[in-house]
Structures are given as C-alpha cells and as structure tokens.
C-alpha cells in the first residue's frame, strides 16, 4: 500500500509538462524546450554515447527534472539530492521435487530505498566531483553507506581517479546501477561472486583514438570490515574493453571486454550463494562457509547495441585456493537480448564502460506511451566442484519493462528455473512485478 501511495505521489508531481534535457558530451545536462514531439523513436540528435563521467558513476540524475528544489548551483560548489525506491511482488509455482528442495510462499518486499548526493567544485581547473549515498538494507534492516567518494580528472592518465566506496569494476552488468538494468536482478553468478561495494581506489580511462577503455582498482576492508557486503580482506580488479564499433550517428556500439580479479577472503573463509533472481526468495545455491586463502576470477563480456536492440553475454570462472576442499572452480554467467519497441536507444558511457537507463522519448506524463522494452535472458550458475556441493541453477526469464517517465518504471517478469541440488532436480516458475521510483 505504501508503494502505491508513493507511486501516485510521484505521478502527481510529474503530471505537469516538464523540460526535457539533453546531455552535452563535455558537461552536465542542460535545459531544452518542452518535448511535444509526436515521433515515438529517439531523435537522431540525442547522444547515444557519453564521453564523460562523475563521482556518482552510473547513479546519475535522470534526463528530465521532476522537481527543482533538490539542486543548488553556487559559485564554489554544486549539490544535488536524489533518491530511489524499489518494491517487489513475487509468487511461485513449484513441482514436487522443487517443494522438497526449498519451500516458497508468495511475498512482497521492499527491495531498495536510498538517498544519493552528488556535486562538483566549479573553482577547480580540472573536473573534481563528489558523491555520497546511503541505502536501507532490507535483509539486515540497517542503513549502509553506498557510493561515496571523490573523483578527480587526470588528463595525463587519460581518465579519472576515484577514491572511496563504489563498484569494483568487474562485470558491465555489476557496474551499472540496479535501477538501470534491463532485468530485475543480476544473474545468479554475478550476485554470488562479486561484492556489491568495495572501499579503495579505481582508475577509469578511455582512449578515443583506439576505442580502448579500462577500469583498474585496488580495495581493502580497512573501513568496511564487518559489513554485509565486505567478504574480502583485499582485492585487485582489472577490466579492459575494446570498442571496435562506436557510432553516435548510427547508434551502434560493440563492447568486447575481459575481467580479471584476485581476492583474499576475510578470515580465510568464503561463502558463495545467490537467490534465484527473485529478491523475496531464499538462497537457492549456497556453498556454505569453507576455508579459502585466495580466489582468482576471469571471464569475458560482450555487448552489441544497434539502436533499440541490445544483445549481450557475460561468463566467468572462479578458482578458489582451498586444499581442504580440493581447490574448486565455479562458473556461470548469462546471455540476454532486449528490444525497445518504442524506438529509444540505451546510452553507453565510454569511460565507465556501461549502459545507462532508458529515457522515454514521449513520457506518459507528457501524453506519450512511455518506453516499452522486451527482455529475454538465460542465466546459469554451477557451484558444484570437488568437495563443494552448492548446487546448479539455470533460469530463463522473459519480461516487459514499462518506463512511464525517467522517474517511474514498472516491471513484469516470468521466470522458469531448474535447480539441481540435494540430490533432487526441481523446477520452479516465478511470477514477479516491481515498482521503481527515482528522483
């Protein structure tokens, strides 16, 4: 009920015509005239490649402003207040073996609630931006510090240096904020093996001449030890990608990348586990805690965007140094295809190497249909190796996203999952909806 009230309030605020925004490749969004076009596709002049980045990284403000009271632009600093809200509804249909593996009941649950601050320092000759965020963590019923730090542009290094708490950089889908993703949840392998946040340093760079980008980082748990996301004492991450095709005029991008990661688990203990891409559900695959001195991860990511179409895949292996458990190696990933029926194009950031959320060409609150997106994804994870029996799980997910505006999104998903665990093979159907609000 609270979710519906918040949704109605957001719709009421956005009911009046608002000014559309366009992003200049060299700076922040600027105001334009009201968007009254009758064209249902994204205008060719709208940039589909973004060549700058700030400390908020993927958690940047929407193209269109919903309100104006949340920003301050002064002579010495700027500040913007934003927020997000996700609420999930999930039901299940299980066969007999699935019921024996894990008992499930329909549920609704708060998925995410966060506040985000960000800004710049206009007095500085080079770009210096900052971010600060907190999030309500539903599983632990506590507040966590999210993306928080300072980012400094260093032209001689062809990029930016971020210092603080943020995404490690492993996996394009993990780097994207969950509010921008094409599915409700990341793949099971993604959630099982990559911490959502880490404290440290990250160098983000891009060479336009060569179409080459990199995210290199070092992290440790000096400030985060004991928090739910902090499962590693320290880790080093390298993400390298090549863009052999990247055309704004043709709205095309081919992203080919490799991910490498080395980590030392806290107290030499490791546990990999994941829900079945349904947040209210319990963990389907779980290795339990076992002794581990280091982990080494390696994998690929490849994405091709052609206007409203997007195709992609990520897959990687996680090798664990654990003589007591036979030094297991786990693997998993996904393949996805999306189509924006209404013709929009997901913007791609060349420095961070990720896609942004969908901005409807004709929002519902301006008399248009909003943006409609069809998604098909198959994901797989295998946590059975040597003496570890964490389970195998695969899921096929067709779904529909309806972006009413830059601030309101409704998601409808069906999932068919197969779990091989506890010497049983069970099948589960998932029926999911989500309300997403952003400011």
Does the pLDDT at position 18 exceed 70?
no
Does the pLDDT at position 318 exceed 90?
yes
Tell me the two tokens of residue 219: 């992290």
The set of residues, in sequence order, having a beta carbon less than 8 Å from that of 237 and lying 6+ positions away, is 168, 169, 170, 215, 216, 217, 218, 219, 259, 260, 261
Does the pLDDT at position 165 exceed 80?
yes
Q: How many residues does the chain have?
A: 439
pTM value is 0.87
- Higher-pLDDT residue of 364 and 146 is 364
| pLDDT score at 245 | 97
Instruction: Give whole-number Cα distances, 307 to 43, 345, 423, in Å.
Output: 11, 5, 45
- Residue 226 — pLDDT band, cuts 50, 70, 90? confident
| pLDDT score at 422 | 97
Average pLDDT over the chain, rounded to whole? 88
- Residue 58 — pLDDT band, cuts 50, 70, 90? low
- Residue 137 — pLDDT band, cuts 50, 70, 90? confident
| pLDDT score at 75 | 86
Does the pLDDT at position 262 exceed 50?
yes
| pLDDT score at 175 | 95
| pLDDT score at 65 | 61
Reported as type and span, the H/E element at residue 172 is: helix 172-175
Mean pLDDT for 70-74 is 86
Three-class secondary structure of residue 317 per DSSP: strand
Does the pLDDT at position 104 exceed 80?
yes
Percentage of the chain beyond pLDDT 90 is: 74
Does the pLDDT at position 30 exceed 50?
no
What burial class does residue 38 get, using C-beta atoms within 10 Å of its C-beta: 0-12 exposed, 13-18 middle, 19+ buried? exposed
Does the pLDDT at position 5 exceed 50?
no
What is the Cβ-side half-sphere exposure of residue 81, based on CA atoms within 13 angstroms? 7
Mean pLDDT for 61-72 is 72
- CA angle at residue 58 from 272 to 275, to 5 degrees? 25
Does the pLDDT at position 205 exceed 70?
yes
- Residue 42 — pLDDT band, cuts 50, 70, 90? very low
| pLDDT score at 298 | 98
Q: Distance between CA 10 and CA 163 in Å, rounded?
A: 34
The set of residues, in sequence order, having a beta carbon less than 8 Å from that of 330 and lying 6+ positions away, is 189, 192, 193, 272, 287, 317, 318, 320, 381, 382, 383, 385, 388, 390
Task: Check residue 169 and give left, alpha or beta (phi > 0: left; psi -120 to 50: alpha).
Answer: left
DSSP 365: G
| pLDDT score at 67 | 59
Does the pLDDT at position 10 exceed 90?
no
- The secondary structure of 95-151 as a DSSP string is -HHHHHH-----EEEEEEEEEEEEEE-TTSSS-EEEEEEEEEETTTTEEEE-SEEEE
Q: Distance between CA 283 and CA 270 in Å, rounded?
A: 16
- Residue 57 — pLDDT band, cuts 50, 70, 90? low
- Tell me which residue of 435, 355, 439 sits closest to 403, measured CA to CA: 435
Residue 8: how many other CB atoms lie within 10 Å: 10
- Work out the widest C-alpha separation in the chain, in whole angstroms: 66
What burial class does residue 199 get, using C-beta atoms within 10 Å of its C-beta: 0-12 exposed, 13-18 middle, 19+ buried? buried
Distance of CA 283 to the CA centre of its chain: 20
């Amino acid at each position: 009920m609270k979710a519906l009230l918040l949704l109605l309030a957001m719709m009421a605020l956005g009911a009046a015509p608002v000014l559309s925004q366009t992003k200049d490749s060299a700076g922040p969004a600027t105001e334009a005239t009201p968007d009254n076009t009758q064209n249902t596709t994204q205008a060719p002049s709208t940039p589909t490649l973004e060549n700058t980045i700030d400390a908020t990284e993927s958690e940047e403000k929407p193209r269109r402003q919903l309100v104006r009271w949340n920003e301050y632009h002064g002579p010495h600093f700027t500040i913007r207040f934003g927020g997000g809200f996700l609420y999930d509804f999930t039901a299940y249909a299980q066969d007999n073996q699935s019921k024996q593996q894990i008992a499930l009941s329909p549920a609704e649950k708060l998925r995410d609630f966060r506040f985000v601050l960000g800004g710049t320092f206009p007095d500085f000759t080079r770009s210096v931006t900052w971010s600060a965020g907190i999030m309500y963590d539903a599983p632990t019923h506590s507040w966590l510090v999210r993306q928080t730090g300072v980012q400094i542009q260093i032209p001689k290094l062809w990029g930016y240096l971020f210092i603080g708490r943020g995404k490690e950089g492993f996996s394009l889908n993990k780097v994207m904020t969950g509010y921008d993703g094409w599915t409700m949840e990341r793949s099971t392998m993604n959630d099982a093996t990559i911490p959502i946040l880490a404290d440290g340093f990250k160098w983000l760079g891009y060479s336009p001449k060569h179409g080459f980008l990199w995210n290199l980082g070092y992290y440790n748990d000096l400030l985060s030890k004991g928090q739910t996301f902090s499962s590693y004492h320290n880790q080093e991450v390298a993400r390298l990608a090549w863009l052999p095709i990247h055309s704004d005029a043709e709205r095309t991008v081919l992203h080919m990348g490799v991910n490498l990661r080395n980590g030392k688990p806290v107290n030499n203990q490791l546990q990999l586990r994941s829900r079945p891409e349904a947040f209210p559900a319990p963990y389907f695959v779980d290795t339990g805690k076992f002794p581990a001195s280091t982990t080494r991860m390696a994998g690929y990511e490849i994405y091709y965007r052609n206007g409203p179409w997007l195709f992609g895949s990520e897959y990687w292996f996680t090798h664990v140094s654990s003589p007591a458990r036979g030094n297991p190696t786990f693997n998993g990933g996904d393949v996805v295809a999306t189509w924006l029926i209404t013709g929009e194009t997901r913007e791609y950031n060349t420095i961070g190497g990720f896609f942004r959320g969908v901005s409807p060409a004709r929002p519902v609150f301006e008399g248009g249909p909003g943006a409609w997106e069809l998604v098909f994804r198959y994901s797989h994870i295998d946590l059975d190796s040597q003496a570890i029996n964490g389970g195998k799980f695969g899921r096929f997910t067709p779904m529909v996203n309806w972006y009413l505006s830059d601030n309101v999104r409704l998601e409808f998903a069906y999932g068919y999952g197969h779990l091989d665990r506890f010497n049983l093979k069970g099948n589960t159907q998932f029926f999911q909806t989500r309300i997403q609000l952003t400011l």
